[in-house]
Amino acid sequence: MGKVIVVTSGKGGVGKTTSTAALGAALAQSGEKVVVVDFDVGLRNLDLVMGAERRVVYDFVNVIQGEAKLPQALIRDKRLETLYLLPASQTRDKDNLTPEGVEKVIAALKRAFDWVICDSPAGIERGATLAMRHADVAIVVTNPEVSSVRDSDRIIGLLDSKTLKAESGERMEKHLLLTRYDPSRADRGDMLKVDDVLEILSIPLLGIIPESMDVLRASNLGSPVTLADERSAPARAYFDAVRRLKGEALPVAIPGERRGFFGKIFGRKAA
Amino acid sequence: MNLFGLFSRNQSAPAARERLQVLLAHERASAGASDLLAKLRDEILRVISKHMQIDQDKVSVRMDRGEQVSTLAVDVEIPFNPAKPTTSRKKAA
């Protein structure tokens, strides 16, 4: 049975879809069988970030409504044999995602894949609660910024109350993925530091993704950043996050903290 | 920015951190309280409806938290003929 992961945040634009694509690809690059599932009905974008937007024929809602079989809706990645995408519907209403339908699809995906990664829509409404409902593990994507941290706190509350795990009295495993981290701004004292966010949200850290042009470049090309440039800083951060997700005890290096005195003086102007 | 600017300029991150800590402490507490209110409402309703018929929508439970004292206000609208027709209910069941 595969593991179900929800990538969630509450706030929009923090990097859920980018992170879903990058983590999914990184897991597949390590030989795992992975499906990434877009829960953002009406505003799908995972297909675009994965570079599969022109290959969508059937979607999640078609499967739930019985208009297509699950294997017909799954899109296999052109670069990675073990990576699949289940796209969301762009035209249908999100009320078409029924709890029973979602449960059936997730159960079928769990049987066929090692990892089922659910890309949650922003907000705390139906789409977001359905995306987290069946998760074994939650990845809370947060920017070091007040509104994102507040919304993450709210989402953590929902993960601890509205998921099947929580309702059956089990502990929901939650990880923090800090994205768009800019070490030079944090150094200057104008961005919340890693420790600040960790102290406030008090969930374990899965990784820190530095703010980087490589992320935008990868999405321009329709490629997860771990495939677009394996050696870029964000790609390496996602690869490390995946190793931790698989249970490896790999310490998290905070970007920018190894810089010496001169690096600090001359590095500041960069941002 | 020069070296002197580094020391004189006010940093904004500590303010962000402090504001978040205060806000979230408050929001977490009120999230817990709304749960408590829902529980209280349910249990109070159950007790009252043992003895009289009441309309579920005409009950309000409110809690005000003060520094020294907190108050719990329960408002139940009782219909004109509140006595529960116990015999007819038994027949229906």
Distance from CA of A190 to the nearest CA of B (A): 5
pLDDT > 90? residue B3: no
Comparing CA positions, the residue from A170, A102, A98 lying closest to residue A138 is: A170
Q: Which long-range contacts (CB under 8 A, 24 or more apart) does A219-223 make?
A: A219/A18, A219/A48, A219/A49, A221/A51, A222/A48, A222/A49, A222/A50, A222/A51, A222/A52, A222/A53, A223/A50, A223/A51, A223/A79
**pLDDT value of position B92:** 41
**pLDDT value of position B91:** 43
Q: How many CA atoms lie within 13 A of B51 on its CB side?
A: 5
Nearest to B13 among A191, A268, A269 (CB): A191
Quick: pLDDT tens for B35-86.
677 777 778 888 888 888 877 777 777 777 666 777 778 888 877 776 655 5
Distance from CA of B8 to the nearest CA of A (A): 12
**pLDDT value of position A243:** 97
Higher pLDDT, B76 or A149: A149
Chain B positions touching A188 (Cβ under 8 A) are 6, 11
Chain B positions touching A159 (Cβ under 8 A) are none
pLDDT-derived band at A60 (thresholds 50, 70, 90) equals: very high
CB atoms within 10 A of CB A261: 7
Residue of chain B minimizing CA distance to A268 = B1
Q: Taking residues A229-244, report their average pLDDT.
A: 96
Quick: pLDDT tens for A118-139.
999 999 999 999 999 999 999 9
CB atoms within 10 A of CB A100: 8
Nearest to B20 among A150, A157, A186 (CB): A150
pLDDT-derived band at B7 (thresholds 50, 70, 90) equals: low
**pLDDT value of position B59:** 77
Interchain CB distance below 8 Å, B16 and A146:
yes
The partner residues of A181 in beta bridges, in order of sequence, read A210
Nearest to A190 among B13, B21, B23 (CB): B13
Higher pLDDT, A146 or B64: A146
Task: Show Cβ contacts of residue B39 under 8 Å, excluding neighbours closer than 6 positions.
Answer: none
**Global confidence as pTM:** 0.80
Q: What percentage of chain A carries pLDDT values higher than 70?
A: 94
pLDDT-derived band at A270 (thresholds 50, 70, 90) equals: very low
Nearest to B11 among A149, A189, A268 (CB): A189
| Cα–Cα distance measured from residue A209 to residue A199, given in angstroms and rounded to the nearest whole number | 18
pLDDT-derived band at A258 (thresholds 50, 70, 90) equals: low
Q: Which of B2, B3, B9, B24 to mutate to test the interface with A (most CBs of A within 10 A)?
A: B24
**pLDDT value of position A260:** 55
pLDDT-derived band at A10 (thresholds 50, 70, 90) equals: very high
Distance from CA of B86 to the nearest CA of A (A): 36
Query: Tell me, what's the ipTM?
Result: 0.80
Which amino acid is it at B34?
S
Nearest to A149 among B3, B6, B20 (CB): B20
Chain B positions touching A189 (Cβ under 8 A) are 11-14
pLDDT > 80? residue A219: yes
Nearest to A189 among B13, B23, B28 (CB): B13
- Please tell me the least confidently modeled range out of A131-145, B6-20, B27-41: B27-41
**pLDDT value of position A150:** 96
Residue of chain B minimizing CA distance to A151 = B24
CB atoms within 10 A of CB B18: 11
**pLDDT value of position A264:** 52
Q: Taking residues A158-175, report their average pLDDT.
A: 94
Chain B positions touching A149 (Cβ under 8 A) are 20
| Cα–Cα distance measured from residue A141 to residue A153, given in angstroms and rounded to the nearest whole number | 11
Q: Taking residues A264-271, report their average pLDDT.
A: 46
Chain A positions touching B19 (Cβ under 8 A) are 146
**pLDDT value of position A251:** 92
pLDDT-derived band at B88 (thresholds 50, 70, 90) equals: very low
DSSP state letters, A221-242: HT--HHHH-TTSHHHHHHHHHH
Q: Which helix (H) or strand (E) holds A174?
A: strand A173-181
Residue of chain B minimizing CA distance to A156 = B28
**pLDDT value of position B8:** 54
Distance from CA of A186 to the nearest CA of B (A): 8
**pLDDT value of position B64:** 74
- Please tell me the least confidently modeled range out of A19-28, A181-190, B19-28, B74-83: B74-83
**pLDDT value of position A262:** 57
Q: Is A260 exposed, middle or buried (0-12, 13-18, 19+ CB in 10 A)?
A: exposed
Interchain CB distance below 8 Å, B24 and A153:
yes
pLDDT > 90? residue A214: yes
Q: Which of A181, A187, A190 to mutate to test the interface with B (most CBs of B within 10 A)?
A: A190
